Amino acid sequence: METKIDALINKMEQSRAKLNTALEKIAPQAEIYPSWKLKQVLDHISGWDELVITSLRAYLHGEIPERRVKNIDQYNAGSVSARKALTLEQSRQAFDTSRQEVIHILRELPAAMLAQKYKAPWGGQCTISSIVRIFVSHEQEHAKQIEEILNISPANH
């Protein structure tokens, strides 16, 4: 029988698979967002995964994570900038590794923690289940935007 944690992890894996399918189709030098190419999108997602890793570890140890996101645009820019020196291959490895770590920590959590309210690192309150839903939606949104770019690119006409 699938546990609630298993169901959440399955949703994360499905959204990541959808995002990976879109990312595999786009050229590394294609502009996805203003000033963001493939590498920057990978770095952006890794930054959010790393924030969640830090938060989940804090929750697991009964600690409150510091609020690290006061302005989402600034956090995104800082996260991408902090990874500027990485090669595309290193960014891809960090993208894959950080997600594996999120899933590993989710598997360590007692099921009772999923619905408890915690202080979110971006302000306000959240549950672990809501964090996963946000991340699934976030990746699906990026996948959709990339697919839309691919469908309107000159190579497809």
Residue pLDDT tens, the chain, 157 long: 678 999 999 999 999 999 999 999 999 999 998 889 999 999 999 999 999 999 999 999 999 988 889 999 999 999 999 999 999 999 999 999 999 999 999 999 998 999 999 999 888 999 999 999 999 999 999 999 999 988 875 554 4
Tell me which residue of 70, 59, 148, 149 sits closest to 108, measured CA to CA: 59
What pLDDT sits at residue 155? 52
Q: What is the distance between the alpha carbons of residues 86 and 61, in angstroms, rounded to a whole number? A: 31
What pLDDT sits at residue 156? 47
pTM of the predicted model over 0.85: yes
Q: What is the CATH number of domain 4-150?
A: 1.20.120.450
Tell me which residue of 97, 95, 79, 75 sits closest to 139, measured CA to CA: 95
Q: What is the distance between the alpha carbons of residues 88 and 92, in angstroms, rounded to a whole number? A: 6
What pLDDT sits at residue 157? 41
